[in-house]
Amino acid sequence: MIASAIPLLFIVAALAMLGVTGNLFSPSPFVIAAQVAALGLNIWARSSFHRGTFRVTAAPSGTSIITRGPYRLIRHPMYSAVLLFIWASIASHCSVLTLAIGIAVTVVCIARVIVEERLLRATCPDYLDYSRSTKALVPFVF
């Protein structure tokens, strides 16, 4: 299970790197709005879990899936929130370093989504139907 937490540590390290280099926040109202939206989405997604069922690792806490809150529209809203937050930062501080961080975080998030999708399809009988009616990361798109 420790290997399952490595992507989270990677994302935290990426955010720290953007922060340390002064590339995390921007005075732009558009960037601020996107980052506030990302934080709101993350909080909304986290609050959609039943008490005591949230896990940082990919291990499901049961055989039922969450279909309320942002999970009605997207299967992985916390990864969506991370990607929105980081890419908003990159948009306002575009450089080779920030692009490399953004691409790396995107690859890690997509890899994590793939792993979780396989695990959830194998352990939750209703997941395949749910995945047909929702998008993975971007509502109505992807």
Domain range annotation of the chain = 26-50+63-142
What's the predicted TM-score (pTM) here?
A: 0.89
The two tokens of residue 62 are 């049961």
Q: What is the pLDDT of residues 70-127, one digit of tens each?
A: 999 999 999 999 999 999 999 999 999 999 999 999 999 999 999 999 999 999 889 9
| Residue 4 in this model has a pLDDT that exceeds 90 | no
Residue type at 19 in one-letter notation: G
pLDDT the model gives residue 60:
58
The encoded tokens of residue 59 equal 């291990």
Q: Tokens 């069922």 — which residue?
A: 53
Q: Please count the CA atoms within 13 angstroms of the CA of 47 that sit on its side-chain side.
A: 8
CA distance 95 to 80: 22
pLDDT class of 3 with cuts at 50, 70, 90: low
CATH class of 26-50+63-142: mainly alpha
Q: Would you state the pLDDT for residue 31?
A: 97
Q: What is the mean pLDDT of the chain?
A: 90
The Cβ-side half-sphere exposure at 38, using a 13 Å CA radius, reads 18
Distances, alpha carbon 131 to alpha carbons 23, 26, 39, 74, 117, in Å:
35, 35, 24, 9, 9
